[in-house]
Amino acid sequence: MVSVSVLIEKAITNQVVSFSTDTLPALAVKPSYSQLIFELKQRSYEKPLILMTSSIEEIWQYVKGTSEELKTWQNMANKYLPGGLTMVLPASSLIPVTMNPLNPNSIGVRVPANAIAQEILKKTGGLATTSANLSGEEALTKMSEIAQKFPSVYVLDDDNQQNSKVASTVIKWTGNNWQTLRQGNIKIDN
């Protein structure tokens, strides 16, 4: 278990790290090294990673759409973010194929409502993230459990952090409206 400053240093040098968010603790790495998370979790490529950023404004460089779509997406983001919502949108060229190998034209984006997570993401830039667990197993909710399960990961020493223990709601832009892919605590009115 490491301090915030050590965790940031390790993330910047392309190591897999783990920290609390408002939903579930995240495994995170620089997007161009997202293959490390797929290997660590034994995760299927059918389950893409989520790009987590420190602010709503930071999201827009990673997605592409018409000015009308962008306005719709910004309205949704301003209503629910920071928070437990992931929006799946068309990916810009800044998103490495390794984050979503089977559909590299799409990316889930999210801003956590957690001050420490935002502080980390401000210093590291956007990170490829997912819940901390082996694929098919329940998500781990305590940092000490994550440190035990993933000894090679740099885990933030903050077992006192509160999280909802519920994964984010995931909605996908279909080109006309939103489709709910996973229901979390946030209920979206289409």
Q: What are the C-alpha distances in Å from 115 to residues 19, 54, 120, 122?
A: 11, 9, 9, 10
Mean pLDDT of 137-162: 91
Mean pLDDT of 168-185: 96
Residue 157 predicted with pLDDT over 70? yes
Mean pLDDT of 110-129: 97
Q: How confident is the model at residue 176 (pLDDT cuts 50, 70, 90)?
A: very high
Q: How confident is the model at residue 163 (pLDDT cuts 50, 70, 90)?
A: confident
> Any idea which fold 4-182 has?
DHBP synthase (3.90.870)
Rounded CA separation 94/165 (Å) = 30
Q: What is the pLDDT of residues 40-82, one digit of tens each?
A: 999 999 999 999 999 999 999 999 999 999 999 999 999 999 9
Q: What is the rounded average pLDDT for all residues in the chain?
A: 96
- Report which secondary-structure segment, H or E, holds 169: strand 169-173
Q: What is the pLDDT of residues 78-98, one digit of tens each?
A: 999 999 999 999 999 999 999
Secondary structure of 54-97 as H, E, C letters: CCHHHHHHHECCCHHHHHHHHHHHHHHCCCCEEEEEEECCCCCH
Contacts of 183 (CB under 8 A, 6+ apart): 169
Place of tokens 């996908």: 172
Residue 160 predicted with pLDDT over 90? no
**What's the start-to-end Cα distance of the chain, in Å?**
42
Q: What pLDDT is recorded for position 190?
A: 61
Domain boundaries, the chain: 4-182
Residue 189 predicted with pLDDT over 90? no
Residue 162 predicted with pLDDT over 90? no
Mean pLDDT of 161-169: 87
